[in-house]
Amino acid sequence: MKVVLQSGPFDPGALLTAFTTGRRESGAVVSFTGLARAEGGSTDILELEAYEGFTETAILEMAEAAVKRFHLDDVLVLHRVGPIAPGEAIVFVAAAAAHRREAFEAADQLMDYLKSRAPFWKKSVGPGGARWIEPTARDKTDAERWDQPDPLT
């Protein structure tokens, strides 16, 4: 299990290859890659701020809970901090499990929690100025799906 905050660009494929290689008992690896959308040129540099030491711990707790709940073999979370240009990857989550349902649900839940509950502060900076972004209503309701012990099964 690994949680990494990184200030430079990363290649999601290289992470997936490293995460997948050598697994003998995991039948399923699900990955999620979140990209900064260009939105037809209207956006904008994203600036992501984390609280070093605190943010990793909070994400690690989310990852540990997912490993336990979904019987995962392994989890990787890599999250960018600092300025992020349109088209660049912001976040990568991978989950390995014996079977695919658990791997899908784990990656899905981790992303919902990351998007709404991870300790990041995110600013969008463009020609119209800068604004702080908050989780959307959908981010919040998506995350709430997982607050029951087993809402989907």
Partner 1 sequence: MARVLLFGPLRDLAGWREKTVEASSLSGLRAALQAQDPLLGEALSGPGVQAAVDKAIVRGEAPLTALTEVAFLPPMSGG
The alpha carbon of 141 is separated from its chain's Cα centroid by a whole number of angstroms, namely 17
Distance CA 37, CA 94 (A): 21
Candidate residues 8, 40, 53, 129; the one interacting with partner 1 per rule CB under 8 A: 53
Distance CA 97, CA 136 (A): 30
Which 107-146 residues touch a second copy, going by CB under 8 A? 107-108, 111, 115, 138, 142
**Residue 6 C-beta: closest distance to partner 1, Å:** 12
Cα radius of gyration (the chain)? 16
Which listed option, partner 1, a second copy, none, makes contact with residue 79 (CB within 5 to 8 Å by class)?
Answer: partner 1
Retrieve residue 96's tokens.
Answer: 């390995």
**Residue 118 C-beta: closest distance to a second copy, Å:** 14
In 3D, which of 59, 47, 46 has the Cα closest to residue 116? 59
Instruction: For residue 138, give the H/E element and its range.
Output: helix 137-144
Contact 56, 5 (CB under 8 A): yes
> Is 79 among the residues that bind partner 1 (CB under 8 A)?
yes
Residue with tokens 């490293």: 18
> Is 39 among the residues that bind a second copy (CB under 8 A)?
yes
> Is 13 among the residues that bind partner 1 (CB under 8 A)?
no
Which 90-149 residues touch partner 1, going by CB under 8 A? 90-91, 114-123, 132-135, 139
Where along the sequence are the contacts to partner 1 (CB under 8 A)? 34, 48-49, 51, 53-54, 57, 79, 90-91, 114-123, 132-135, 139
User: Rule CB under 8 A: which residues touch a second copy?
Assistant: 11-18, 20, 22-40, 86-87, 89, 98, 100-101, 103-104, 107-108, 111, 115, 138, 142
